[in-house]
Amino acid sequence: MKKERYYVSDISNISGLTKRTIQYYDNEGVLKPAGRDENNRRFYTDKELSILEQIIFYRNIGFSLKQIKEEINYNDRKESLLDILSKQEIYLYSQLEEIQGRIDAVTTSKQLIEEGYTPPWELLSKIMRDINKVDISIWSNYPFSETQLTIFEDVFDSQQLVFNFYNTFRKISIKAVSYKGAGVPVNSSLAIELAEEWINMVEKVTKGEPEIINSFLQVDKHRERWNKGEKALLEEAEPYLEDILKSYYEGRND
C-alpha cells in the first residue's frame, strides 16, 4: 500500500538495504530524503522510492556511487537512459573480454603442452599485460567514415556480433603469437587449423565483398588509432599469420 511518507525503517524493509546504507546514500548526496517531519526525522515519498530502485539497479550492474551521483539524471528521457546504459554495457563487455582473453591464453597454452610444445611464457605474459590494459570503449568513438559506418552497421547488426568478431580476432591472434613463440611449424596441423580459423572469420564478416574488405583494410591502415594492446598483439601475430596462410594456400595448390 502506498503511503504519503516513508521513513528510513520503511525504506529498509522495502528495499532490503540496511538503515546504515540508506543514511550513507543520503550523506553522499545520492538519495536525499523528501524532507523532515515535525520530529526532525527523514522521510521519503514514492518519488524517492523510484529513485532508490534505479540506484539499486545501477549498483547491481556495476556503477559506483560516484558515477551514479555525477552521471545519472533520474528522469524518463529515453535518450539519457539509453546513453547511460550503452556506456555501461560497453564497460561490462570490456570486463568480459578481458576475462575471455585470459581464458583464450590458458586454452592455447594447454593445447601447446598437449601437442608437446613449451608455451612461450615470457612472450605470453607481455601480451597479456598489454591486453589487460585495452579499453574497447574507444571503438565507440572511432572516427569511421560515413561509408564505413553504413557498411559496418550492416555487417554487425547487433553489438553482440561486434564483440563476437572482436573475440574471434583476438583469440586467433593470441594463438598465432603463442604458436610462433613455441616454434610450431607453419605446415603443422595446428597451424593449418589456425589458418582455416582466420579464413573463416574473414569470409564470415566480409562475405568476399570488395567494399566490406576495403572498409576493414582502411581501419587496419590506421593502427595508430587502435588500443596499444590490440596493436601490439596483431603486430606480434601478423608475421606468423602471413606465413601460415601462405603455406596453407601453397599446400592447396599442390
pLDDT of residue 117: 96
Give the span between the Cα atoms of 185 and 50, in whole angstroms. 62
Q: Is the pTM of this model over 0.95?
A: no
Domain parsing of the chain, residue ranges: 6-71, 78-253
Give the span between the Cα atoms of 214 and 206, in whole angstroms. 9
For each of the chain's 254 residues, which pLDDT tens digit applies? 556 889 999 999 999 999 999 999 999 888 999 999 999 998 999 988 888 988 898 888 888 888 888 777 665 566 677 777 777 787 787 788 788 888 999 999 999 999 999 999 998 888 888 877 777 777 877 889 999 999 999 999 887 888 889 889 999 999 999 999 999 999 999 999 999 999 999 999 999 999 999 999 999 999 888 888 888 899 999 999 999 999 999 988 76
Q: Indicate the SS3 state at residue 77.
A: coil
pLDDT of residue 78: 62
pLDDT of residue 217: 93
Give the span between the Cα atoms of 232 and 132, in whole angstroms. 12
- Assigned C-alpha cell, 60: 547491481
pLDDT of residue 71: 73
Name the DSSP letter for residue 224: G
Q: Pairing state of beta strands 42-44 and 35-36?
A: antiparallel
Among 38, 39, 48, smallest CA distance to 11 is for 48
CATH number for 6-71: choose from 1.20.1090.10, 1.10.1660.10, 3.40.190.10, 1.10.150.530.
1.10.1660.10
Give the span between the Cα atoms of 48 and 52, in whole angstroms. 6
Beta bridge partners of 35: 43
